[in-house]
């Protein structure tokens, strides 16, 4: 049975079951229940004071005030969140780390849109090359505590859910927005919808273009979304959403060596030819049945078809030679066999294409209900999810310049370097119950992750692979692995002080194995293997306080500790390895003061800030292999000790909101393997992979003006206002951070 047919059958079965519940609800004559129109919300419950752990909500109003250029600025005020923007200014290739987790491709942070996964393949390839455009977002929810066990598979650090704007329910509504700025940036966004009390629809269109961070780089993205919502009955709502996204960017995923960076940190010698393309099609269906005031049954079904392909002419930074462990500090062409090919003449050189396709679908029925176990008020959640992934990864390369921007030619005439087919079938079940005991709440929960993966390596190193993984064989190497993980959690809250909650929790975290970017053979046997890494398991603790006790003042502070049994880290050439025990501990703080509320005036001066002190982020034991560079006590890569963000703003009753702010990131250490034996002495630094990443502070500001009784909003926003030059990352070489970006525009609501 095909995956589409499975999805349809599963969805129909679930809807029929819910319809049966609906019929039963109609037949309950002894209860007089007033059923309100069902509205779609995010993942956080209505009773926020009972959430068993730390969380943050960035709502639409805050997004409008800050006018972020990308998701990096949107989440800067959330403590514990570290976003590295080193490849493109818009954050199209997301690198988000929470509480000391390696931010590379957001592999340890669960990303969702309305509860639908956003990674290319959450189990088989948890890489983030897409996030919901902020123009479609109603609010962003960030959850870091034991409440994560309701979601998955990544639960080691935190999760981010983008809640999209609802469809209109009162006639015609929409907006148009135009933006423009330096670096040849411009954007257009339009939204229009119509609705009545029984339902509605909404059409959304987005287009953005601009220059990249480095020379010869640019980005071009567009997205179209249709969302509809209809009340089938007074107690049932059906929501459907269809999306199409396309990216076509010139971006070099390889950084610079030390000499090149010193000469011109923004150069990209092959940037005009290096390219990243991404096409994403998605369908999401949600059915919500409110049986009565205490029972809600919901089903979430999704299907995502993604295709992405990158083209590179340089594969290692700084002329690094992985065979001899040497480097030159300057960029070298990877496929340089064509006549006249040189780094100064990239149009005469070849390169490599990495096309990959992903088909992901799943269905998740869930019931939320209230009950009176032990005579107490209880809120319970029980759910199950089936999730399926089908992944095809290939690599084609050739020395000919005809490979440039021509995947079809390279497939037909070049070398088929790699072919890997990967499937995942995962079942997740979860249950969570909150006991409300006067001012206390106690929330035990349990999640079970059961998944089966199958990898088939057909071609590796340009050779067909045999059943034993040896090059030159026939039939391919096929590996199947099944695993079940039981992930308990326990959270508690106390709300004995007005508008104040003390919370604490412990839960078992889980992250699937990380796939290598490129297939590599065993250095001893020369054979290729499947399932190189094992899943990550962690134990997460936290204790915190959130309060709005004082008028006009709100804050949250959390002490956290995370212990990994066998952490996964990046090794050389896009490879990943298990590195043993590791630990992260820290303190988070976020707060806001509104002086207008304190002094009862419409002229509001406000102060918003967040701070994270990650005082521990280290390996606990030496690594087994000297090549990995894992040394007990060394700091984990890309885990800055200090993160801080502060903004001072003013709101005037005529409709002006202006603010200035600053963001600080302390120094960071690069990947551990740069300390290993793969590099000859001094070569890792020369290639740009090794060396501490210095701290930096960036200033930003925004101003919004919406005249009273006007439907137009005028805005201006700027980031890195001093145009500071700074080193953002050493992943695959040295990457400079984004330069000054200023943009303005107008938005008209109707």
Beta-ladder partners of 547: 500, 555
Distance CA 627, CA 625 (A): 5
Contact 52, 145 (CB under 8 A): yes
Residue 349 lies in domain: 3-749
Residues 6+ apart with CB under 8 A from 519: 418, 420, 457, 460, 461, 528
* Cα gap 558→144, rounded to integer Å: 10
Helix (H, G, I), strand (E, B) or coil at 638: coil
H or E segment and range at residue 12: helix 3-26
The helix/strand/coil state of 382 is strand
Query: What is the count of structural domains for the chain?
Result: 1
Rounded-to-integer distance, Cα 70 and Cα 266, Å: 20
The whole-number pLDDT of residue 32 equals 38
* Stretch 682-703: mean pLDDT: 97
CB 728 within 8 A of CB 735: yes
CA distance 245 to 223: 4
Answer whether residue 29 shows pLDDT above 60. no
By C-alpha distance, which of 422, 581, 443 is closest to 516? 422
3-class SS at 691?
A: coil
> What is the Cα–Cα distance from 154 to 537, expressed in whole angstroms?
10
- The answer to whether residues 303 and 282 touch, using CB atoms and an 8 Å cutoff, is yes
CATH number, residue 327: 2.40.170.20
User: What is the rounded distance in angstroms from the CA atom of residue 683 to the CA atom of residue 721?
Assistant: 35
Burial class (CB in 10 A: 0-12, 13-18, 19+), 127: buried
**Mean predicted confidence (pLDDT) in 316-332:** 92
pLDDT digits (tens, 9 = 90+) for 341-395: 999 999 999 999 999 999 999 999 999 999 999 999 999 999 999 999 999 999 9
273-323 tens-digit pLDDT:
999 999 999 999 999 999 999 999 999 999 999 999 999 999 899 999 888
693-718 average pLDDT score: 97
Specify the pTM: 0.93
Continuous H helices in 283-359: none
How would you class 197 by CB atoms within 10 Å of its CB: exposed for 0-12, middle for 13-18, buried for 19 or more? exposed
CB half-sphere exposure, 55, CA atoms < 13 A: 25
Task: Give the tens place of pLDDT for each residue, 408-433.
Answer: 999 999 999 999 999 999 999 999 99
Confidence check: pLDDT of 38 > 60: no
Closest CA to 606 of 646, 572, 654, 643: 646
CA–CA dist 365, 298 (Å, integer): 6
Q: Please give the share of the chain, as a percent, with pLDDT higher than 70.
A: 93
**What local confidence, expressed as pLDDT, does residue 12 receive?**
43
Q: How confident is the model at residue 442 (pLDDT cuts 50, 70, 90)?
A: very high
């Amino acid at each position: 049975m095909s995956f589409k047919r499975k999805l349809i059958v599963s969805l129909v079965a679930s809807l029929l079951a819910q319809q049966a519940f609906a019929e039963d609800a109609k037949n309950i004559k002894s209860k007089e229940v007033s059923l309100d129109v069902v509205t779609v919300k995010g993942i956080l419950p209505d009773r926020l004071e009972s959430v068993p752990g730390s969380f943050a909500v960035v709502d639409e109003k805050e997004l409008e005030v800050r006018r972020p250029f990308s998701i990096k600025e949107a989440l800067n005020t959330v403590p514990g969140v570290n976003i590295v923007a080193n490849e493109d200014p818009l954050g199209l290739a997301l690198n988000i780390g929470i509480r000391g987790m390696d931010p590379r491709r957001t592999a340890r942070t669960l990303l969702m849109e309305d509860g639908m996964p956003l990674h290319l393949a959450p189990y088989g390839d948890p890489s983030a090359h897409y996030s919901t455009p902020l123009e479609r977002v109603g609010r962003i929810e960030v959850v870091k505590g034991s409440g994560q066990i309701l979601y998955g598979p990544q639960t080691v650090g935190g999760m981010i859910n983008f809640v999209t704007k609802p469809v209109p329910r009162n006639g015609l509504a929409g907006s148009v927005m135009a933006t423009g700025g330096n670096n040849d940036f411009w954007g257009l966004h339009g939204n229009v919808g119509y609705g009545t009390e029984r339902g509605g629809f909404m059409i959304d269109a987005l287009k953005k273009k601009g220059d990249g961070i480095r020379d010869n780089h640019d980005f071009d993205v567009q997205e179209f979304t249709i969302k509809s919502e209809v009340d089938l009955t007074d107690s049932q709502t059906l929501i459907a959403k269809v999306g199409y996204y396309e990216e076509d960017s010139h971006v070099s995923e390889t950084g610079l060596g030390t000499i090149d960076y010193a000469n011109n940190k923004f150069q990209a010698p092959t940037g005009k030819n290096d390219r990243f393309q991404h096409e994403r099609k998605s369908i999401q269906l949600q059915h919500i049945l409110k049986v009565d005031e205490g029972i809600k049954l919901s089903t979430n079904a999704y299907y995502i078809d993604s295709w992405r392909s990158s083209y590179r002419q340089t594969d290692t930074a700084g002329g690094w030679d992985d065979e001899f462990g040497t480097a030159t500090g300057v960029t070298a062409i990877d496929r340089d066999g064509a006549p006249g090919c040189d780094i100064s003449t990239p149009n005469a050189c070849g390169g490599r294409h990495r096309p990959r396709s992903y088909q992901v679908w799943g269905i998740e029925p869930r019931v939320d209900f209230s009950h009176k176990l032990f005579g107490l008020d209880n809120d319970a959640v029980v759910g199950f999810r089936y999730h399926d992934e089908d992944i095809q990864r290939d690599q084609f390369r050739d020395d000919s310049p005809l490979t440039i921007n021509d995947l079809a030619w390279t497939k037909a005439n070049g070398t088929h370097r790699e072919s890997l087919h990967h499937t995942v079938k995962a079942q997740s079940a979860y249950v969570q119950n909150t006991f409300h005991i006067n001012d206390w709440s106690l929330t035990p929960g349990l999640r079970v992750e059961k998944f089966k993966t199958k990898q088939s390596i057909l071609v590796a190193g340009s050779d067909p692979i045999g059943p034993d993984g040896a090059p030159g064989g026939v039939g391919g190497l096929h590996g199947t692995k099944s695993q079940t993980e039981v992930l308990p959690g326990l959270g508690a809250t106390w709300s004995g002080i007005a508008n104040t909650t003390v919370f604490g929790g412990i839960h078992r975290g889980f992250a699937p194995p990380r796939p290598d970017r490129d297939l590599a053979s065993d250095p001893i046997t020369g054979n290729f293997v499947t399932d190189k890494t094992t899943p990550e398991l962690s134990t997460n603790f936290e204790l915190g306080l959130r309060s709005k006790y004082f008028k006009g003042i709100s804050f949250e502070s959390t002490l956290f500790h995370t212990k990994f049994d066998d952490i996964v880290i990046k090794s050389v050439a896009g490879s990943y390895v298990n590195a043993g025990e590791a630990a992260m501990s820290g303190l988070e703080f976020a707060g806001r003061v509104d002086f207008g509320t304190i002094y009862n005036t419409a002229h509001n001066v406000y102060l918003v800030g967040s701070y994270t002190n990650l005082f521990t982020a280290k390996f606990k034991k030496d690594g087994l292999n000297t090549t990995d560079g894992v040394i007990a006590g060394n700091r984990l890569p890309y885990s800055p000790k200090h993160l801080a963000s502060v903004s001072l703003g003013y709101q005037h009753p005529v409709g002006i909101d202006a603010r200035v702010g600053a963001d600080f990131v302390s120094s960071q250490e690069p990947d551990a393997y740069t300390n290993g034996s793969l590099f000859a002495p001094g070569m890792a630094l020369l290639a740009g992979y090794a060396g501490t990443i210095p701290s930096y502070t960036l200033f930003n500001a925004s101003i919004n003006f919406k005249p009273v009784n006007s439907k137009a909003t005028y805005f201006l926003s700027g980031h890195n206002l001093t145009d500071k030059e700074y080193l953002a990352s050493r992943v695959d070489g040295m990457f400079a951070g984004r330069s000054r970006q200023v943009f303005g525009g107008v938005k008209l609501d109707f």
